[in-house]
Amino acid sequence: MSDLEQQDLKNKKVIVRVDLNVPLDDDDNVTDTTRIVACKETVDLILEKGGICILISHLGRPKGKENKFSLKKIIDTVSSVLGRKVFFYEDCIGQGAQEAISKLDKGSIILLENLRFYEEETSGDRVFAKNLSKLGDIYVNDAFGSCHREHASTFVIAEYFENKKFPGMLLKKELDAINQIANYGKKPVLAILGGAKVSSKLGILYNLIKNVDKIIIGGGMAYTFIKAKRGKIGNSLLENELITNAQEILSLAQALDKKIILPIDTIASKDYDNNDQILTFNSKEIEDGWIGLDIGKKSIEMFNQEILSSNTIFWNGPMGVYEKDLFSEGTRSICNSLREAKEKGANVIVGGGDSIAALKKLGKEDWVGYISTGGGALLESLEGKILPGVKALMK
């Protein structure tokens, strides 16, 4: 892929597909600006090089032109985060949009209306994509979180920009982080996977086991693996139909001389909601009627040692039901160990909605080496797939 930083952008109209799908409260205030902040580097680069920045994005899942999902609502926040005036136009294609753009001087930014006001966006319609392409001279994709979709603005549009299409700075950082985990990160490379379900992370496990040196499996998903090793897991979360897969992954790890590290002790309760009684069990000997809801002290210590002896670490998914204080200690400890590892020079990459939410809830996020903005896009990349939006930039 060619490099946007090497391009002459002076007076060039640069279409930038960004992901401004930000959360709004009932009064239309933006409650988290992460995605706006994430596109600033690309915008700054284009403007410094004397280009005109045409931002296109989706917001929510509108059915046709629904005012509720207008990007106009976020224009002030976008301006304030980018630290510059941002113009707005009420459509994302057509003569009106083209005229609004043609009036802009170099160094200007314009945000166009929600792409998903046209169902042709999500259906990947070629005519719509071609109309979008008429807005500018150069196409930049900086919407990593949407790159797994074959939509008009993330995929089809690229074919109209032969030799004039580039990944944005955010997309480059995301791809580099994925490569650090799955390809060329400094060894030992450790992946820590947690959360509720094995099913959502099966593809990642099969792919990462080939590339990383060790995988810690915590959270609810650990119990299917413990069961696969003939452990007694009481009433803990179990995906029975995946026991065979779990066994296969464990055998694969053994054959490849990779380590899979499971919790050795478990904090359990008799009920998800009523937590009057809490006991610690050996993770392989949980009594019937008890549900494992967090990792115990011995596991924390063991995971801590694995983290501190790794140079590249990827974390996705909590170690327990971290939303409840009673079961948040495992996840909190992982955060602390990761921070210590980072201070000692390890590259720490965090991705996936719940790990970021956990980091924020536990008040520790500013130190992380890289926090991915992608949900599905990150998971699919870690499964070893080249995302459509990325492939389209390569052709």
Binding flag, residue 389, ligand AMP (CB under 6 A): no
Nearest to 19 by CA among 37, 44, 45: 37
Calpha distance 9→148 (Å, rounded)? 28
In the block, residue with structure tokens 């976020």: 74
Q: Is 35 tagged catalytic? A: yes
Query: Which positions ≥6 away from 152 have C-beta within 8 Å?
Result: 115, 120, 121, 122, 123, 124, 125, 126, 128, 129, 132
Contacting residue, 320, 351, 374, 389, with ligand AMP by CB under 6 A: 320
Binding flag, residue 197, ligand AMP (CB under 6 A): yes
Phi, psi of 315 (to 5 degrees): -125, 130
Contacting residue, 226, 321, 356, 371, with ligand AMP by CB under 6 A: 321
Query: Which positions ≥6 away from 30 have C-beta within 8 Å?
Result: 22, 23, 24, 36, 74, 77
Binding flag, residue 231, ligand AMP (CB under 6 A): no
Q: Is 51 tagged catalytic? A: no
Q: Is 374 tagged catalytic? A: no
Quick one: CA torsion of 349, 355, 360, 363, rounded to 10 degrees?
A: -80
Binding flag, residue 293, ligand AMP (CB under 6 A): yes
Contacting residue, 136, 167, 296, 317, with ligand AMP by CB under 6 A: 317
Taking the least distance from each CB to ligand AMP, the nearer of 53 and 349 is 349
| Total binding residues toward ligand AMP, as defined by CB under 6 A | 15
Binding flag, residue 318, ligand AMP (CB under 6 A): yes
In the block, residue with structure tokens 């413990």: 226
370-371/347-350 β-pairing:
parallel
Binding flag, residue 271, ligand AMP (CB under 6 A): no
Query: Rounded to the nearest whole angstrom, what is the least distance from the CB of residue 375 to ligand AMP in the complex?
Result: 10
Binding flag, residue 34, ligand AMP (CB under 6 A): no
Stretch that binds ligand AMP, among 61-69, 99-107, 150-158, 320-328 (CB under 6 A): 320-328
Q: Is 353 tagged catalytic? A: yes
Task: Name the token pair of 304.
Answer: 């801590």
Active site positions, annotated: 35, 197, 353, 376
Q: Which residues bind ligand AMP (CB under 6 A)?
A: 195-197, 200, 219-220, 237, 292-293, 317-318, 320-321, 323, 354
